[in-house]
Structures are given as structure tokens and as C-alpha cells.
Amino acid sequence: MKIYTKTGDKGQTSLYDGTRVDKDSLRVDCYGTVDELNSFLGVARNFIEDDEIIKKIYDIQRELFNVAGELATTDGGQFPQRVTEGKIADLESFIDTLLGRMPKIDQFIIPGSNKASAALHVARTVCRRAERKIITLSRQETISPLLMKYINRLSDTIYAMARYLETELVLVNFK
């Protein structure tokens, strides 16, 4: 089986539902950024030794294929594996678990005291970029509010994992 189809040679691609769009369309940019996030999470996973976090990242990576699929459909309701409140609740529960294990801080931290946390912080910033792009798309087309909420909560989850794995907290003091 060949991986090239030659159907995109003129700058267009097919969405999940068969609609042809330009490769630089905002919709393609959105799901492409989600794909980039998925890849960065894969990189981060290779630096992590905590089995609980590795499993959570795998779960998130699987769900990101659904997020991208939903974004790659002009009528997201046609995509079979849509984001649910349950997936959002799972992220919130995991955030609460991790934050409950850490001391509370009310300052910014300098990210990346080790490779695992640094890689997760990069993934977090990509997630926030994906969220910004999805919000922009939502002003032009209908995007599921649950998908938007999931991406927002996901950036919080990635932050919580990164902070949990920090070996040293270097706080930023604005005074």
C-alpha cells in the first residue's frame, strides 16, 4: 500500500466527510495543531518514568485522534467518536489527584527542571495554540462546545503533569 495518493498535490485535502478544502484552511490548521500536540505528547512520554502519567498520556493521545477527527468533519456530529462530558470529567479528576499531591503555589514557575517536565510544557503550549485556533474556527463554523472545553481542560492537565514531574520549582517573583 502506498502512503501517497497524489490527490493533495495541488494544495487541497479531503476531510473525514469527503469535503475537499485547501490544506492551509483554518480547519486543517486546527486538526494539524492537534496532531502536533499528539506528537509532542509522544516525545514527552519517552522522558517520563511515572507509570500513571504514561498511561494517562496514552489515553489522551488516543482521544486526540477523536478530537482531530471531529475537527476534520464539517458537521462534527457526523463523526462517531465525539468528545463527551465523561472525558472532560476524567481530566478534571486527574488534575485534582495530581494537585492534591503537590504543595500549593501562587506564582509562575520557570518550566522544565528536567526533560520530562520540559517536554510536557512544550506540549502544553501547543495545546494552548490549538485551543486558540479552535476558538477562531468556532467564530466561523459550528464547533462542539464539549470539544472546546476538552481542549481547555487538556492544557490544564498537561500543566498539572508537568508541574508534578518538576524536580525543582523555580518561582518567578515580579517584585
Q: Domains for the chain: give ranges and CATH numbers.
A: 13-165 (1.20.1200.10)
pLDDT at residue 12 greater than cutoff 80: no
pLDDT at residue 77 greater than cutoff 80: no
pLDDT at residue 85 greater than cutoff 90: yes
The confidence band for 157, taking pLDDT boundaries of 50, 70 and 90, is: very high
User: pTM (2 decimals)?
Assistant: 0.91
pLDDT at 149: 98
Q: Tell me the average pLDDT across 88-101.
A: 97
Q: Tell me the average pLDDT across 77-94.
A: 91
pLDDT at 5: 74
Burial code of 140-159, b = ≥16 C-beta within 10 A, e = fewer? eeebbebbbebbbbbbbbbb
pLDDT at residue 158 greater than cutoff 70: yes
pLDDT at residue 40 greater than cutoff 80: yes
Q: Tell me the average pLDDT across 59-64.
A: 97
Angle (CA) 53-59-64 rounded to 5° is 120
Q: Which helix (H) or strand (E) holds 20?
A: strand 20-22
pLDDT at residue 11 greater than cutoff 90: no
Angle (CA) 69-72-78 rounded to 5° is 70
**pLDDT, greater one: 59 or 169:** 59
Nine cell digits for residue 137: 474556527
pLDDT at 145: 95
Burial code of 97-128, b = ≥16 C-beta within 10 A, e = fewer? ebeeeeeeeeeebebbbeebbbbbbbbbebbb
pLDDT at 9: 63
The confidence band for 8, taking pLDDT boundaries of 50, 70 and 90, is: low
Lowest mean pLDDT among 42-56, 69-83, 102-116, 131-145: 69-83
The confidence band for 63, taking pLDDT boundaries of 50, 70 and 90, is: very high
**pLDDT, greater one: 159 or 82:** 159
